[in-house]
Amino acid sequence: MSYQLTIAHLYPEQMNIYGDRGNIITLRQRCAWRGIETTVLPVGPGSAVDWTTVDLAFFGGGQDSGQSLIAADFVERQAAGLRRAAEDGMVLLAICGGYQLLGHYFLTHAGEKLPGIGLLDVHTLGGTERLIGNIVIEASWGVDRQRLVGFENHSGGTYLGGGVQPLGRVLTGHGNNGKDGTEGAVWRNVVGCYMHGSLLPKNPHFADHLLTLALQRRYGPTATLAPLEDALELQAHTAMVERLT
């Protein structure tokens, strides 16, 4: 059976820092190696999207100024369709600035209140301190190799409500807010976190987890990914984990 996946990339021009686009490259390459065809759909300001056709969406990080450019468009144009798709199990990965806009709001350090779409029950408050550096977490969401490694740089601190689970617990670094030891938030197949890196090339097991969820939603529970020869990738991953913990 030949598989096909449609990947939506939210605001690729405005929201792409620290190589977050590398997540899209990784998803596509890991599919290509397995003969899975992918189509990437860029979603920019003003785009009309049929979210029922999307299997997996990605929303990268951005400066406060980049977020400010697209926040209203995101809420007005995409919130309703994206919510319906997410309720139906669509996979969505959001990093940092994208993660913040999936929450209820982001009150920036400068006092601007950027609206979010409230898909994740979180809110974010800008602070004076930058939470910056390498980060390692122990993930509690659906991955065999539980450690995830990345790089964070944010001034916003995110606080979780009762409607989400943390993605995991911080082993090294700051995570959601530098205070409560949590990192990221998960609801259904929607995951937001502060892990640039890029995240997916550094954590190929996590990339495959997201791809498996997307495939099984579209093709049923028997759809599985063929294993890849990941020795080098996992060696890089493990070297970072060992250096940082």
245 contributes a contact to ligand GLN by CB under 6 A: no
68 contributes a contact to ligand GLN by CB under 6 A: no
Minimal distance, residue 217 CB to ligand GLN, in Å: 27
User: Which is the catalytic residue, given 196, 205, 209, 237?
Assistant: 196
Applying CB under 6 A, among 150, 156, 175, 201 the residue interacting with ligand GLN is 156
Applying CB under 6 A, among 52, 53, 63, 224 the residue interacting with ligand GLN is 63
Instruction: Identify residues 73-132 at the interface with ligand GLN (CB under 6 A).
Output: 96-97
DSSP state of 103: S
Residue 198, preceding peptide bond in cis (omega within 30° of 0)? yes
Q: How many residues bind ligand GLN (CB under 6 A)?
A: 12
**Alpha-helix runs per DSSP H in 43-163:** 64-73, 79-87, 97-102
150 contributes a contact to ligand GLN by CB under 6 A: no
Residue 235 backbone dihedrals phi, psi, to 5 degrees: -65, -45
- CA 218 vs. chain centroid, Å, equals 20
Closest by CA position to 152, among listed 92, 199, 113? 199
**Closer to ligand GLN at the Cβ: 96 or 200?**
96
> Taking the chain, what is the end-to-end CA distance rounded to the nearest angstrom?
42
Residue 31 is a catalytic residue: no
- Is 220 exposed, middle or buried (CB count within 10 Å of its CB: 0-12, 13-18, 19+)? exposed
Residue 109 is a catalytic residue: no
- Residues noted as catalytic: 96, 196
Summarize as ranges the residues that interact with ligand GLN (CB under 6 A): 17, 61-64, 67, 96-97, 153-156
